[in-house]
Amino acid sequence: MAKILIVEDETSINALISKNLILTGHACKSAHDGITALELIRSERFDLIILDVMLPGLSGFDLIKLTGDVPVIFVTAKSALEDRLQGLSLGADDYILKPFEMQELLARVRIVLRRTKRDENSFSFDNITVDFDSRKVFCDGSAVELTPKEFSLLEVLIINRNIALSREKLINLVWTYDYEGDTRTVDVHIQQLRHKLGLKDRIKTIYKIGYRFEI
């Protein structure tokens, strides 16, 4: 769980990002203008800042100079290349353009948090502990044997917990983009996970969409 500040003047987008991050197990604070954001940064400790560029009061480009060593992901509709370069040259950890898919944002949040070692390296639920560093799963303290693909699938489901992922999305995230196999492979691996870890109630099949890890 990471503590994330969302700075975005568009109320609906701010709420949307916040809702999704909370679902996947993060704690969020929202700011709708640069000044409020700066006050929050000065008074609280954050693991990550999601920052819009055009903000009332203080722009994202100004704000990033005052964030210290907190990682920053820019979220903006400004598509010009020089803006992108400016964002990265100012020390942003990533740059994401509107409109974006929520899974994309979540994936980037995860990557930045992992890189800056601000995310947990393990996740526990029920009687199960998942260690992301050693890529091992323990059930009641004893190791459970998973294939590398099964582990990756579990990891992706945990990262996007409470959010349904389509079979195609899972193939993209777990297998490679040019994977030739059909989506039945996903079903087979999900069955394996449910069977090996007793996750029948946790990994739900969502009608017409795919699978969701619920917690």
Q: Considering only 35-43, 66-74, 156-164, 187-195, which stretch makes contact with another protein by CB under 8 A?
A: 156-164
With 0-12 CB in 10 A as exposed, 13-18 as middle and 19+ as buried, what is 100?
A: middle
Among 20, 146, 173, 199, binds another protein (CB under 8 A): 20
User: Is 111 one of the binding residues for another protein (CB under 8 A)?
Assistant: no
**How big is the site for another protein, counted in residues (CB under 8 A)?**
35
Burial 50-76 (b: 16+ CB within 10 A, else e): bbbbebeebebbebbeebeebbbbbbb
Alpha-carbon dihedral angle through residues 168, 173, 175, 177, given to the nearest 10 degrees: 70
Interface with another protein in residues 118-137 (CB under 8 A) = none
Smallest distance from the beta carbon of 178 to another protein, in angstroms? 25
Could you say whether residue 149 binds another protein (CB under 8 A)?
no
Distance in Å, CB of 183 to another protein, minimum: 17
End-to-end CA distance of the chain: 14
Cβ 68 vs Cβ 46: under 8 Å = no
162, 183, 191, 205: residue in contact with another protein (rule CB under 8 A): 162
Looking at residues 58 to 87 of the shown chain, list those that interact with another protein (rule: CB under 8 A): 59, 77-80
What is the chain's length? 215
Site for another protein, residues 182 to 201, rule: CB under 8 A? none
Assess 11 for contact with another protein (CB under 8 A): yes
Q: How far is the CB of 135 from another protein (least distance, A)?
A: 26
- C-beta closer to another protein: residue 98 or 200: 98
Q: How many C-beta atoms surround the C-beta of residue 194 within 10 A? A: 16
The reply to whether 91 sits near another protein by the rule CB under 8 A is: no
d(C-alpha 85, C-alpha 96), whole Å: 12
Amino acid at the residue 206:
I
Token pair belonging to 90: 């100012």
Sites of contact with another protein (CB under 8 A):
9-13, 15-16, 19-20, 23, 32-33, 54-57, 59, 77-80, 98-102, 162-165, 204, 206, 209, 212, 214
